Amino acid sequence: MQSFLTIGGGLGFIFAMTCLGGATVFIFRKSAPGKFQHVSLGFAAGVMLAASVWSLLLPAIEEAEAQGMAGWIPAACGFALGVLFLMLLDHIIPHLHPMSNVREGPASASKRTTLLIFAVTLHNIPEGMAVGLAFALALQHDNPAMYAAAVALAIGIGIQNFPEGAAISLPLRQEGISPGRAFGLACISGAVEPIFGFLAALLAVLLLPVMPWLLSFAAGAMIYVVVEELIPEANLGEHSHAGTLSVIAGFLIMMVLDVALG
């Protein structure tokens, strides 16, 4: 029960931050400041890049070596599987990227608002897995440093979830959805984080040898989202340094959190 509450606390925090970001729809109403979404997407990309390295890939290598394996094998293979998993979801789930206004996946008669929600939900999956696995790893070893690292990861993902929640509620408001409904849908899009986080943590606890594979799997899935979606959309439109600098800022903040706390 204690372990369940610990993992639930971390996952609950990142979910709450998504909802809090979605609540900005009550402030901005119909539109956000000019570069808000570019900066939000770039910041999320930076956080996910740093988290993939310090919070997922490096621990995966260490875990594999502790199990007597070559660290690069589960790190590389799990990473590739995570990329393939997100590519598969990208192709079988119809969705619409809000900044580029490009529809992807199979043809669908779903409303534009539904496709927008699907797009954000897709990259919430690896984020939830990452946090759930970080806490499961700390519980497995009962290591204070690993607990601190898991908390740092939850804080970093939570920080970037705030603008991420806004990135779904504000476009929905612009589509004519009421503020209350746009807020609720933003929260729903973040609900996959605790769901997939608990599933990944449970699998890791029941099958301890797969922990390195799951950690690198989550890293691969997050890097795919960053490269395929977040960074390109953060730099759409008129050339500026806003998207690039926000990626760097997100990376630095997540790196400092992980190194300082973990």
When comparing pLDDT for 172 and 153, which is higher? 153
Which range of 76-80, 104-108, 179-183 scores highest in mean pLDDT? It is 76-80
Is there a contact between 257 and 155 (Cβ–Cβ < 8 Å)? yes
Retrieve residue 237's tokens.
Answer: 């439109």
pLDDT band at 211 (very low <50, low <70, confident <90, very high): very high
Percent of the chain at pLDDT > 90 equals 43
Is there a contact between 101 and 238 (Cβ–Cβ < 8 Å)? no
Query: Tell me, what's the pLDDT at 108?
Result: 67
Percent of the chain at pLDDT > 70 equals 88
Query: Tell me, what's the pLDDT at 62?
Result: 93
Please state at what angle helix 58-66 crosses helix 211-225, rounded to 10 degrees.
160
Query: Tell me, what's the pLDDT at 235?
Result: 78
CB count within 10 Å of CB 145 equals 11
pLDDT band at 187 (very low <50, low <70, confident <90, very high): very high
* Residue type, position 15, single letter: F
| Predicted structure pTM score | 0.87
Residue 182: phi and psi, rounded to 5, are -60, -40
Residue carrying the six token digits 């939900």: 121
Query: Tell me, what's the pLDDT at 100?
Result: 57
Which residues are CB-neighbours of 177 under 8 A, at least 6 positions away?
113, 185
CB count within 10 Å of CB 208 equals 11
CA distance 240 to 215: 35
Q: What is the mean pLDDT of residues 233-239?
A: 70
Q: What is the mean pLDDT of residues 84-99?
A: 79
Query: Tell me, what's the pLDDT at 218?
Result: 93
When comparing pLDDT for 105 and 49, which is higher? 49
Flag whether pLDDT at 230 surpasses 70. yes
H/E element, 108: none
Query: Tell me, what's the pLDDT at 222?
Result: 92
For 88, 114, 209, 219, the CA distances from 224, given in Å and listed in that order, are 11, 22, 25, 9
Flag whether pLDDT at 220 surpasses 90. yes
pLDDT band at 168 (very low <50, low <70, confident <90, very high): confident
Q: What is the mean pLDDT of residues 96-120?
A: 68
Q: What is the mean pLDDT of residues 184-207?
A: 90
Retrieve residue 88's tokens.
Answer: 């598969």
pLDDT, tens only, 48-84? 999 999 999 999 999 999 999 999 999 999 999 999 9
DSSP one-letter string for 111-142: -HHHHHHHHHHHHHHHHHHHHHHHHHHHHHHT
Flag whether pLDDT at 239 surpasses 70. no
When comparing pLDDT for 33 and 160, which is higher? 160
pLDDT, tens only, 8-45? 999 999 999 999 999 988 987 655 555 777 788 888 89
